[in-house]
Amino acid sequence: MNILVLGSGGREHAFAYKLSQSPRCEKLFVAPGNAGTSFIANNVKLSVTDFQAIKQCVLANEIKMVVVGPEDPLVQGIYNFFKGDNALKNILLIGPSRRGALLEGSKQRAKEFMMHHNIPTAAYMAFTKESVEAGKQFLETLSPPYVLKADGLAAGKGVLIINDISEAKTELENMLSHSKFGAASEKVVVEEFLDGIELSIFVLTDGKNYKVLPTAKDYKRIGEGDKGLNTGGMGAISPVPFVDEVLMNKIEERIVKPTINGLIAEEIEYNGFVFIGLIIVNSEPFVIEYNVRMGDPETEVVLPRIDNDLVDLLEATAKQTLDQVTLEIDPRSATTVMVVSGGYPEAYEKGKKISGIERIGDSIVFHAGTIQKDGEVVTNGGRVLAITSLDKDFRIALKKSYQSIDELSFAKMYYRTDIGFDL
């Protein structure tokens, strides 16, 4: 069948890479894609939230499956758009309905869902402009650090963790009364700080059945030792070495099952990925967030470990037959290290020629912010390449990723040399 992947990052290149290996994948399209996807698929210039343009592309190219990478089109209702259109309703769309996507699109909604279905999470209250004063009083009842979350999508920047109470009050006011994150912070969730170690769980569900995919841990800060500004993610490792059977059972019984049962009980159509961000406090798992898509760069370590034909797996997701699928997981560890543009996550330059990609043999090079220009691959974003390696031990895999990076160069190239330092 012909397949379209929506998005342009390392996550989408990893999806395209895996789909292109399936004998069932005929023509593969990525919109808008990057230089890496242009080598294995047809890039289509369109915006992932331009549903009419996507419809034209799907019909013109006889596409039978659409894999949605990022959250924006999901939160804007691409699933409902497809199901409500006679020409599109039979296309297999991988992603939740708009109501499902609200688990990421509204932090308050996600918290209410967790409370309603008894899913362990940090204690919280939600506030609006009208209740700023109550918000400040609530902050007084908590101990530092204080966690403030813009309710809506804020491109990964909407969470503030603040040590000082008066600064926390000021920021709460900035968010609610002075639109610090625009419409996204018209509501703010204030929650208890959880002190523990983070990891991510990925679940593929057809709305009835589910499969737990490999675990992963990402490294979000720009600097070594996990210091400095938050980024989209600077590297990832799968599986997470400290997740043993006891912890995994707790996660499945207390979090995964109640989440899927909650979707069923609320009659939410959901054919896609649930990315559950967890913090483990004294061996007990708590949910800090839901995302309704795969993570980036987590996808670059999770998908290479799935041995199933990805077309089969996603078709079963769209057709509610996941119960008939057995997941085949590569027991090796996968690591990925993000190579970024100097300056990221703040201002950085684009258009720098990248050299050395062709010399990398021991790792998979997933492109993120790259573009082809005059026959050369040049930088086109903050996160540029994700270098993934597999081996028996994550330390050996990491070594391979770093050796591969030694082959690469572009002006102001930067990467963290300490991915996995805490494991």
The answer to whether 96 contacts ligand GLY (rule: CB under 6 A) is no
Closest to 203 in 3D by CA, of 192, 214, 187, 219: 214
Query: Do the Cβ atoms of 316 and 322 come closer than 8 Å?
Result: yes
Q: Residue 157 is which amino acid?
A: K
* Residue selected from 291, 333, 363, 388 as contacting ligand GLY according to rule CB under 6 A: 291
Q: Which is nearer to ligand AMP, 82 or 124 (CB)?
A: 124
Question: Going residue by residue from 381 to 410, which x/- string records binding to ligand AMP, judged by CB under 6 A?
Answer: ------------------------------
| Residue tagged 């119960």 (tokens) | 323
233: contact with ligand GLY by CB under 6 A: yes
Cα–Cα distance, 142 to 126 (Å, whole number): 14
Within a 13 Å sphere around the CA of 89, how many CA atoms are in the beta-carbon half? 4
CB of 220 to ligand GLY, least distance (A): 7
- Residue 59 vs residues 66, 88, 114: alpha-carbon distances, Å: 12, 8, 39
Is there binding between residue 191 and ligand AMP (CB under 6 A)?
Answer: yes
Question: Does residue 159 bind ligand AMP (CB under 6 A)?
Answer: yes
Query: Which of 12, 72, 104, 296 touches ligand GLY (CB under 6 A)?
Result: 296
- 171 or 296, CB closer to ligand GLY? 296
Q: Which of 289, 298, 300, 315 binds ligand AMP (CB under 6 A)?
A: 289
Among ligand AMP, ligand GLY, none, residue 295 binds (CB under 5-8 Å by kind): ligand GLY
From 191-199, 266-274, 373-381, 385-393, give the range in contact with ligand AMP by CB under 6 A.
191-199
- Quick check: 56 and 4 in contact, CB under 8 A? no
Select from 288, 303, 310, 397 the one that contacts ligand AMP (CB under 6 A). 288
Q: How far is the CB of 275 from ligand GLY (least distance, A)?
A: 7
Give how many residues touch ligand AMP by CB under 6 A: 13
We find the least distance from the C-beta atom of residue 218 to ligand GLY, in angstroms, to be 5
Asked if 221 touches ligand AMP (CB under 6 A), the answer is: no
Judged by CB under 6 A, which of 12, 104, 298, 300 binds ligand GLY? 298
- Rounded Cα distance between 85 and 236, Å, is 38
Residues 6+ apart with CB under 8 A from 237: 216, 217, 301, 333, 334, 335, 336, 394, 398, 419, 420, 423
- DSSP 3-state assignment of 32? strand
Contact positions with ligand GLY (CB under 6 A) in 124-183: none
What ranges in 206-342 are assigned the alpha helix state H? 245-251, 257-265, 299-302, 310-318
Beta bridge partners of 389: 335
Q: Which is nearer to ligand AMP, 74 or 318 (CB)?
A: 74
Which is nearest to 333 in space by CA: 403, 391, 398?
Answer: 391
Q: Is 300 in the site for ligand GLY (CB under 6 A)?
A: no
Phi-psi region of 252 (alpha: psi -120 to 50; beta: other; left: phi over 0): alpha
Q: Map the footprint of ligand GLY across residues 265-284, applying CB under 6 A.
A: none
When the beta carbons of 81 and 193 are compared against ligand AMP, the nearer one is 193
Tokens of 403: 């050796």
DSSP string, 318-349: HTT-GGG----B--SEEEEEEEEETTTTS---
Residues 115-134 that bind ligand AMP (CB under 6 A): 122
For residue 218, state whether it binds ligand GLY (rule: CB under 6 A). yes
By CB under 6 A, name the binding residues for ligand GLY: 218, 232-233, 291, 295-296, 298
By CB under 6 A, name the binding residues for ligand AMP: 122, 147, 159, 161, 191, 193-194, 198, 220, 277, 279, 288-289
